[in-house]
Structure 1
């Protein structure tokens, strides 16, 4: 299965913010939108990604004063991207190796979606269940 198929099924909605949003505002957005990461945009360009882990790290390092800082102070700037033509297996490997849970999807340098490790695992489970059902049907048919 390809990333493009996952985006087709789940949709292309991506929650974004700007680098000057405060960490506190990002926390509120992560909570209200029930997501684990947000893409930080400067115009049409992806400037970074901020996850719950980034927020926890900056809070542990700097304490409550970190909440008033711009999110640009704690976001991940070296963003790893996925492309629509990549496979679920290749992304699962990359995300596991790099210990990431979210990957923005870009095509021609344009943000077109985001996938989480949960999205990938969900589709992998569906794929395995369909294969198991097919094998059961084959065996039952004799």
Structure 2
């Protein structure tokens, strides 16, 4: 299974901010949309990611306040990325190794979407549930077997 399979189900709604937006505005968007990350766009290209992790670090650094801090000073300007062709097993490994909860999906310099650790976990569980159903159906229909499984 590939990242493109997740994006196909998830859709392509993206929420963005610019590097010159105040972090307070970004936090308000994240709260209103119930999301944990925003893509930071500048001149039509991804400049970075702002996640709740960077927001918390900014609050701590500023003594418990956001103040007038700009996204530019808080964002991750080199986020871990993948492509739509990246295999799901590789994405899981990448996210776990780097403690990344959000992964921009890039096609060269074009942003295709963002997947979250939740998206990956949900896809894995759904895939396993489907596989379990298929295996149970196969066992139930085993040639020469019976329903009791004593066969």
TM-score for both structures, normalised by structure 2: 0.90
- Report how far residue 108 of structure 1 moved: 2.4
Could you say which structure has the larger radius of gyration?
2
- Report how far residue 80 of structure 1 moved: 1.4
Write the distance in 2 (CA, Å) between the matches of 1:10 and 1:67.
Answer: 34
Structure 1 residue runs without a partner (length 5+): none
- Report how far residue 140 of structure 1 moved: 1.0
Alignment RMSD: 1.1
Q: Where is the helix percentage greater, Structure 1 or Structure 2?
A: 1
* CA deviation vs aligned residue, 1:2-47 (integer Å, no higher than 9, x gap): 1111111111111111001101101101001111000101011111
Equivalent residue for 2:131? 131
Q: Work out the number of aligned pairs and report it.
A: 142
1:118 aligns with 2:118: yes
1:71 aligns with 2:52: no
- Report how far residue 89 of structure 1 moved: 1.0
Equivalent residue for 2:13? 13
TM-score for both structures, normalised by structure 1: 0.96
- Report how far residue 63 of structure 1 moved: 2.3
